[in-house]
Amino acid sequence: MKRRNLSLLPASVRFRFIHRDLLDTEKSLLQDAEVIFHLAARPGVRTSWGAEFETYVRDNILSTQYLLECAGGARALKRLVIASSSSIYGNSPAEFAAEDQPKNPVSPYGVTKLAAEHLCSAYATQNDVPVVVLRLFTVYGPRQRPDMAFQCLIHAALTRSKFVLYGDGEQRRDFTYVQDVVSAFLLAAKISGPFQAFNIAGGGIVSMNEAISLVEELTGDSIDVDRVRPQTGDVRNTGADLSKSRDVLGYVPRVSLCEGLKAQVDDVERMLSQLST
């Protein structure tokens, strides 16, 4: 599926795909980079407990520290933009979390993302690495990785299979369309000044029950929902205060949840059609 997502890019002479562990990447590869977008990480809240935590430390903390070391020696670097997560806030007391409020991650994954942010701040302050951090809120859209809720939900609707829902469905998320995230990264690459962190969200909060109903409406199929107990580390609600992102970055989310989900439904339909031929 990941290879499929890359299928159009090799045709461009401006694209080179290097499949490599970040910790095994030569520093010289980044020496002439003007902008670096860092999205390499071990995702997932539920799998970050227990023995897997060591992998999260390696992929989210050590890899970020190594990249910051590489960035410090990049001669032409103007901006390093790093993807962080709304998970650093935990169960925020405010409906809309602001960047300067206390951080209280409730999962090992959230802890590693917050640690990576602290590393960014340290390297920016002490080594003048030009870092910007974007805290992403529940990203969705076409070509989403297969374990994410919306991809599973749409697949269940189109194949008439079961969708496992953790919790009562009243947990609320600030869903963010992938194209809005791309826009945010491009905006962050252009700003100047000291280290800063920004919330990047969709600007509209809905419950999972509402999202399920919307997918049923878009696909024309009812979904067999298997409701199970909440998973440890899942936060109840997420919501972003976008004031700083709007005022400093110029970021404004453009794609509504209905529009974004329609695009994702169309993408999953195409994928299933290709697999059946």
Domain ranges (residues) in the chain: 21-276
SS3 209: helix
First to last CA, the chain: 16
Sites in the chain below the pLDDT cut of 70: none
Q: Which residue has the tokens 């809120």?
A: 137
Q: Which amino acid is at 235?
A: V
Is 109 assigned a catalytic role?
yes
Residue-level pLDDT at 22: 94
Catalytic residue among 109, 123, 140, 251: 109
Residue-level pLDDT at 47: 92
Cβ–Cβ < 8 Å for 228, 164: yes
Spatial distance between the Cα atoms of 136 and 172, rounded to a whole number of angstroms: 15
Q: Per DSSP, which regions of 57-140 are E strands?
A: 79-85, 131-136, 139-140
Residue 5 to residues 10, 84, 143, 201, 274, Cα–Cα distance (Å): 11, 22, 6, 23, 13
Residue-level pLDDT at 165: 95
**Class of the CATH-defined domain 21-276:** alpha beta
Residue-level pLDDT at 177: 98
Structure-token pair, residue 125? 């302050």
Residue-level pLDDT at 1: 79
Structure-token pair, residue 66? 């190594």
Single pTM value for the model: 0.95
As to burial, measured by CB atoms within 10 angstroms (0-12 exposed, 13-18 middle, 19+ buried), residue 46 is middle
Closest CA to 201 of 185, 183, 182, 177: 177
Structure-token pair, residue 150? 């919306």
Residue 51 to residues 40, 47, 108, 197, Cα–Cα distance (Å): 20, 9, 11, 30
